[in-house]
Amino acid sequence: MGRVQGRVAIVTGAAKGIGKAAALLLGHEGAMVAVTDVDEKAGRAVAKAIREDGGQAQFWPLDVGNEEAVRTTVAEIHDHYERLHILVNNAGISGANKPTHEVTDEEWDRVMQINVKGVFYCTKYAVPFLQEAGGGSIINLSSVYGLVSAPDVPPYHASKGAVRLMTKTDALLYANDKIRVNSIHPGFIWTPMVENHLKSSGDVEAGREEVAKLHPLGHLGEPDDIAYGILYLASDESKFVTGAELVIDGGYTAR
């Protein structure tokens, strides 16, 4: 018996990185996984990998920043599985890495559209189905960058701070519906997002060593380190946990 046996889960941004690890683990633990992403090829491969592992999964192309696409895709997923229990709001981008006075309106809005409005849209259209199911779990990917600051990516910091509080508001709004809403705050995790961020700022290996030093445990995390937190929050093991911040950061914020 898996830890989320028989549950239906939507994972956004599930083609790569943390979302991929979460989709694979939820599938391995018995969930029926709707793998969604803008990257169709990689997304289809993740759904196939879950099926090859003996699980159930299907891919849906989805840009979380497009409200109409979110509305129709969430409804299609619900039609397909006839129920919905888990939403992992994982899709996100790091966006422009410049000081605030150089960030353009378009750069600011793009990060907000995906990281903040994407969470809003997916939550908005999933909640009625979670209510119909008698409860569920929403897991929002914030960041240590939503808890403390650093002198980089200003729109990203703002977006992850927003996600932290959106989580608590929705936890209160939907507690009576038995819908739990929690945020996860990863430190630096070795994914394409971090690799591209380091590439944009110089030598990747040197950058990786520098970033590793920010974590008292002395290294970056792996996508699975976060996927296990997502699995915990998705499962009934966390049935008394809502509005919480699950920090998984190798000690980054403990200083």
Binding site for ligand NAD (CB under 6 A): 12-13, 15-19, 37-39, 62-65, 90-93, 114, 141, 143, 186, 188-189, 191-194
Q: How far is CA 222 from CA 17, 114, 116, 192, in A?
A: 9, 23, 24, 12
Distance CA 140, CA 71 (A): 18
DSSP letter string, 27-89: HHTT-EEEEEES-HHHHHHHHHHHHHTT-EEEEEE--TT-HHHHHHHHHHHHHHHS---EEEE
228: annotated active-site residue: no
Q: With beta carbons less than 8 A apart as the criterion, state whether 221 and 189 touch.
A: yes
Nearer to ligand NAD, 4 or 141 (CB): 141
DSSP 249: S
Provide the minimum distance between the beta carbon of 4 and ligand NAD in the complex, in angstroms, as a whole number: 20
Give the pair of three-digit tokens for residue 23. 């989709």
Closest separation in Å from C-beta 179 to ligand NAD: 20
Q: Whole-number minimum distance, CB 178 to ligand NAD, in Å?
A: 25
When the beta carbons of 32 and 226 are compared against ligand NAD, the nearer one is 226
Return the residue nearest ligand NAD (CB atom): 17
Task: Indicate the residue among 73 and 137 with the shorter CB distance to ligand NAD.
Answer: 73
Closer residue to ligand NAD, CB minimum distance, 70 or 179: 70
Give least dist CB 84 to ligand NAD, A: 18
In the complex, what is the shortest distance from the CB of residue 235 to ligand NAD, in angstroms, rounded to a whole number? 20
Report the candidate in 136, 22, 23, 7 with the shortest Cα–Cα distance to residue 81: 7
Helix (H) or strand (E) holding 10: strand 8-11
Query: Residue 205: CB partners within 8 Å, gap ≥ 6?
Result: none
Among 81, 156, 174, 252, the active-site one is: 156
SS3 of 75-108: the string is HHHHHHHCCCCEEEECCCCCCCCCCHHHCCHHHH
Query: What is the pairing mode between strands 86-89 and 179-186?
Result: unpaired
Compare residues 137 and 183 and give the one whose CB is closer to ligand NAD: 183
Report the catalytic residues. 156
